[in-house]
Structure 1
Amino acid sequence: MQKLGSLPNSPLEAIDQLKTEMDQPVWENRLLDLMKLAANNDKNVWAMIYQIIREADSGRLSWGYHKVLLSGMVYLLAYVGDSKSYRVLVNYVKSLDRTIPIGAMELISDLLPTFPELDIRELFSIASNTDELKSAFGVLALCKLNMENRLSEEEKSSLKTFLTEYKNLKYYLNDTIELTLEQLNETDSSDMLSELDGIML
C-alpha cells in the first residue's frame, strides 16, 4: 500500500497534491484521513475545504475533470455532518452559476438527509429558484427527503402542490417527480383509510 504523506499547509498546494492523488490507490486512505481531521476541526483541512469550494465555484475545479476530488469533499462534509458542513454544501449549491452534471446534484441531494440540521423552508426556496440548476437541486433534495420520510405532513402537502405544477426544461426530473407524487398520493390514500377505519370503529 502506498504510504500516506502529509499535505502541504497551503490550501492551493494541498489541492494540487490531491489532484495527483485522486486517481491513485492512496486516495481512499487520504479521504478517510481528511474526514477524521475535518471532524476534529483541523484548521488546515477546513481552509483547504473552503478553497476547494471556491475553486469549484470559479470552474478551476470541475465535475468533469475532478469528479473524484469534488465528490470526495461532498462525502467528507456528510461524514462530518455538523451545521458548518451543511452550510458549506447548501451555500455551494446556492452560489452555483455554472452547469454541473445531474449526477453531482443527485449525490449532494442523496447525502443531504444524513445531516441532522435541515432547513426545509430553505430547500423549498431553492426549489422555487428561477435558475433551473438550483431549482433542480432543491426538487431532488425534497424528493429524497420525502422518500426518507423526513417531511412533516404540512411539508408533504406543500411538496405535492409544488411538484404538480413544476416544470424544469433544463434537467429531466419527470421520473423523480412522478415517483414522488405517487408516494405522496399513496400516503394520502392510507391516511384516508386510517380515518375511515377510525370512524367505523
Structure 2
Amino acid sequence: MQKLGSLPTSPSEAIDLLKSEMDQPVWESRLLDLMKLAADGDKNTWTMIYQIIREADSGRLSWGYHKSLLSGMVYLLSYVGDSKSYRVLLNYVKSLDRAIPIGAMELISDLLPTFAELDIRELFTIASNVDELKSAFGILALCKLNMENRLSDDEKEKLKDFLSTYKNYKYYLTDTIEITLEQLNETDASDMLSELDGIFQ
C-alpha cells in the first residue's frame, strides 16, 4: 500500500487534496491513515473532519460529486466509534436541509449500530420529524437496529405501532417497512408460542 505524505495543516487545503485523491488508487491508503490519526485524536485531522461536515452541510461538498470523500468520512467516524464521532454523524443528519441520496442515508443508518453510545430514543424523535428526509433516516436506522435485534421489547412494540401508520411521500421506504413489520409480527408470534409452551408444560 502506498505511503502518503502528510496533509496540509490548513483544513481547506487538506480538503482540496483529498478531493483530488478520492477517486485515485491512493484513496484507500489515505483513508486508513486518516482513520488512525482520528482515532489517536490528532487535532489537525479532527479540524479537517469538522470542516468536511460543515461543507457537506452547506452543499459545498455533495454526495453527487464527492461520494468517496463523504462516505469515507462516515466510515472513519464509525471506525473511531466514540461519543464524539457519534454526535458528529448524528448532528449532520439532524441539520440536513437538502436532499441526499437514499444510498447515503442507508450507509449512515447501516453504520450507526457500530456506535456504543447509540441513543434509540433520539432515533425515534428523528423518525417523527416532519421533515421527510430526516424522518426517513430515523426509520432506516430503527429498521436496521430491529434487524440486528438491538431493540428492547418495548422499543419493538413502539416501532411496530409507529410503522403501521407511517407515510413518507419523498422517500420510498415501503419495502423496508413491510419487511420490518413482518419481522416484528413474527417475533410476536414466536413470543406467544413460547408463552403457550410454558403454560402447557
TM-score, normalised on structure 1? Answer: 0.99
Residue equivalent to 1:100 = 100
Supply the AA of the counterpart residue of 1:28.
E
**Residues 78-117 of structure 1: matches in 2 within 5 Å?**
78-117=78-117
Supply the AA of the counterpart residue of 1:21.
E
Supply the AA of the counterpart residue of 1:160.
K
Using the TM superposition, give the Cα deviation of residue 3 of structure 1 relative to its aligned residue in structure 2, in angstroms: 4.1
- Say whether residues 1:9 and 2:12 are aligned partners: no
Supply the AA of the counterpart residue of 1:152.
S
Residue equivalent to 1:37 = 37
**Residues 178-197 of structure 1: matches in 2 within 5 Å?**
178-197=178-197
Coordinate RMSD, CA, aligned: 0.7
Residue equivalent to 1:166 = 166
Supply the AA of the counterpart residue of 2:177.
I
- Say whether residues 1:68 and 2:58 are aligned partners: no
Which string of whole-angstrom CA distances, capped at 9 and with x for unpartnered residues, describes residues 122-160 of structure 1?
A: 000000000000000000000000001000000000000
**Structure 1 unmatched ranges of 5 or more:** none
Using the TM superposition, give the Cα deviation of residue 2 of structure 1 relative to its aligned residue in structure 2, in angstroms: 4.5
Instruction: Write out the 4+ residue segments of structure 1 that deviate beyond 2 Å after TM superposition.
Output: none
Cα distance in structure 2, aligned partners of 1:192 and 1:200: 13
Cα distance in structure 2, aligned partners of 1:199 and 1:10: 68
Residue equivalent to 2:127 = 127
Cα distance in structure 2, aligned partners of 1:134 and 1:181: 21
Cα distance in structure 2, aligned partners of 1:150 and 1:47: 33
Cα distance in structure 2, aligned partners of 1:190 and 1:3: 53
Q: Residue 163 of structure 2 contacts residue 177 of structure 2 at CA under 8 Å; is this kept in 1?
A: yes
Residue equivalent to 2:24 = 24
State how many pairs are aligned.
201
Q: Residue 3 of structure 2 contacts residue 29 of structure 2 at CA under 8 Å; is this kept in 1?
A: no
Residue equivalent to 1:139 = 139
Cα distance in structure 1, aligned partners of 2:19 and 2:2: 16
Q: Secondary structure at the match of 1:86?
A: helix
Which string of whole-angstrom CA distances, capped at 9 and with x for unpartnered residues, describes residues 31-66 of structure 1?
A: 000000000000000000000000001100000000
Identity percentage of aligned residues: 85
Supply the AA of the counterpart residue of 1:32.
L
Supply the AA of the counterpart residue of 2:45.
V
Supply the AA of the counterpart residue of 2:43.
K
Supply the AA of the counterpart residue of 1:92.
Y
Cα distance in structure 1, aligned partners of 2:192 and 2:2: 60
Residue equivalent to 1:55 = 55
Using the TM superposition, give the Cα deviation of residue 5 of structure 1 relative to its aligned residue in structure 2, in angstroms: 1.1
Supply the AA of the counterpart residue of 1:45.
T
Q: Secondary structure at the match of 1:98?
A: coil
